Structure 1
């Protein structure tokens, strides 16, 4: 008798049908979000920075030139008579250097000794109003020139001190009115000066001192003569 074959369907609990097998999702490639700049952009930025620097320099020079021109125009308006000397070295286009009458010429500058007394602040304003500034002494030659001139004035009874453009906001911290750095090697103090005390923050040339080292710090509100200075007019 033929044997009967029985078929049975068997399923394994943990097995998954092949049809249900899914491949893992493919990872998306990382997108590069870094911005890309044109190669000429750094050069453009550098050029703009250079132009800004040039503009600042030109502005500074124009401001200083305008200030100088303003002083000279004021000096010209206040002076009706001028005294001129031959310029050295002689130049074809500019052969003379001129100062207002009653001013004195020395090394391309004009100097004025006042005949009235004022405080230091009023002296500063007075010189500015004439198109000049309180004198700024930069060399020994300039100091000797001024001291000699003051001694000559003593003969005419003008015995008083002369304010110069040196003062201090803090004790011992000296500054010139035109922002010229104070040079201790070109300072001409009297022996024992400056006193460097709180109530003496302005400087005069002392008329009694026989030598040329004659600066003295005094209270700013003590009325004194003054020395004004301006660049000579070149014509």
Structure 2
């Protein structure tokens, strides 16, 4: 992004940011909500009070997570069939990182952002199957979930 903040958040004085001021760019405050809006300009979807950003940049899972955090968001957590159906319609035809992993508890997937169990799943048949080599969840072309190496370059979905 061309207008990355040039100063630390501590240099933000009183600002009009609705959320946290993360720095200054060209002498003006850069707000978390602005970074989310800028990154998601053409891919922002809103439903049920949640905002979803479909980021078409290839990143590894941890970098995608960090990118979402830098926007004041997190990798997508899918909690219901209705949310899964919404995401499936929006994400059709591509692969996307979401926020599930078993990197700290092999075989037991959880949502990394909240450290909570997956109460809803949509695993593809015979998944997860990757053992210790595949620790991150991607949503596949038709909406099924797959465990994948976290080092694979994939698009990602942030949620706020």
Pairwise same-fold verdict (TM > 0.5):
yes
- What is the deviation of 1:170? 2.5
Contact persistence 1:134–1:165 (CA under 8 A): yes
CA distance in 1, matches of 2:31, 2:101: 24
Q: Tell me, what secondary structure is at the counterpart of 1:78?
A: helix
CA distance in 1, matches of 2:157, 2:37: 20
CA distance in 2, matches of 1:107, 1:100: 19
Residue 145 in structure 1 maps to residue 102 in structure 2? no
Q: Which has the larger radius of gyration?
A: 1
Contact persistence 1:167–1:174 (CA under 8 A): yes
Q: Where does structure 1 lack aligned partners over 5 or more consecutive residues? A: 1-68, 82-98, 231-235
Of 53, 62, 66, which residue of structure 2 is paired with 1:121? 62
CA distance in 2, matches of 1:195, 1:183: 16
- What is the deviation of 1:180? 5.1
CA distance in 1, matches of 2:43, 2:36: 10
Contact persistence 1:75–1:131 (CA under 8 A): yes
Q: Tell me, what secondary structure is at the counterpart of 2:62?
A: helix
Residues 176/182 of structure 1: CA separation in 2 closer, same or farther (3 Å cut): same
Which structure dedicates a bigger proportion of its chain to strand? Answer: 2
Alignment of structure 1 residues 23-38 onto 2, 5 Å: none
Alignment of structure 1 residues 1-235 onto 2, 5 Å: 69-70=19-20, 74-78=31-35, 102-151=43-92, 154=93, 159=94, 161-168=95-102, 169-179=104-114, 181-184=116-119, 186-207=120-141, 209=142, 212=143, 214-230=144-160
- What is the deviation of 1:77? 2.9
- What is the deviation of 1:74? 4.2
Which structure dedicates a bigger proportion of its chain to helix? Answer: 1
When normalised by structure 1's length, the TM-score is 0.51
- Say what the alpha-carbon RMSD is for the aligned residues: 2.3
Q: Deviations over 1:83-138 (max 9, x none)?
A: xxxxxxxxxxxxxxxx9663110111000111110000000000111111000111
Contact persistence 2:36–2:72 (CA under 8 A): no
When normalised by structure 2's length, the TM-score is 0.73
Q: Where does structure 2 lack aligned partners over 5 or more consecutive residues? A: 1-18, 22-29
Residues 191/113 of structure 1: CA separation in 2 closer, same or farther (3 Å cut): same
